[in-house]
Amino acid sequence: MKSLVFTLRSQFPRMLKSELQRWLAASMLFSVLLVSARIVYTGQLSFIFLVWNLFLAYVPYVLTSWLRYRPDWIESPRKFAAVFIAWLLFIPNSFYIITDLFHLHIYGSIPGWYELALLLSFAWNGILLGILSLRQMETIVRVRFPYSNELLFIYPIMWLNALGIYIGRYLRFNSWDVITSPFGLIADIADIIMHPIAYKSAWGMIFCYSFLMTLIYVTIKKIRR
Give the model's pLDDT for residue 145. 81
pLDDT band at 44 (very low <50, low <70, confident <90, very high): confident
Three-state SS for 122-159 is HHHHHHHHHHHHHHHHHHHHHHHCCCCCCHHHHHHHHH
Count of domains in the chain?
2
Provide the residue range defining the domain that includes 45: 1-146
Question: Of 124, 146, 168, which closes a domain?
Answer: 146
| Closest of 35, 192, 177, 180 to residue 92, by C-alpha | 177
In tens, the pLDDT along 54-81 reads: 999 999 999 999 998 888 998 898 999 9
Give the model's pLDDT for residue 15. 44
- Whether the CB-CB separation of 90 and 59 falls below 8 Å is answered with yes
| Closest of 91, 90, 93, 100 to residue 31, by C-alpha | 100
pLDDT at 212 over 50: yes
Same domain flag for 19 and 65: yes
- Whether the CB-CB separation of 77 and 14 falls below 8 Å is answered with no
pLDDT band at 109 (very low <50, low <70, confident <90, very high): confident
Same domain flag for 169 and 99: no
Same domain flag for 154 and 140: no
Measured CA to CA, the distance from residue 91 to residue 162 in angstroms comes to: 10
pLDDT at 1 over 60: no
pLDDT at 207 over 90: yes
Same domain flag for 128 and 86: yes
Same domain flag for 57 and 114: yes
Question: Of 92, 118, 146, which closes a domain?
Answer: 146
Same domain flag for 89 and 167: no
For 17-73, give the DSSP string.
HHHHHHHHHHHHHHHHHHHHHHHHHHS--TTTHHHHHHHHHHHHHHHHHHHTT-HHH
Same domain flag for 125 and 153: no
Same domain flag for 107 and 165: no
Same domain flag for 32 and 45: yes
Give the model's pLDDT for residue 176. 79
Same domain flag for 79 and 167: no
Same domain flag for 19 and 34: yes
pLDDT band at 172 (very low <50, low <70, confident <90, very high): confident
Give the model's pLDDT for residue 3. 54
Same domain flag for 76 and 89: yes
- Whether the CB-CB separation of 24 and 95 falls below 8 Å is answered with no
Indicate the pTM of the whole model: 0.85
Question: Of 111, 126, 146, which closes a domain?
Answer: 146
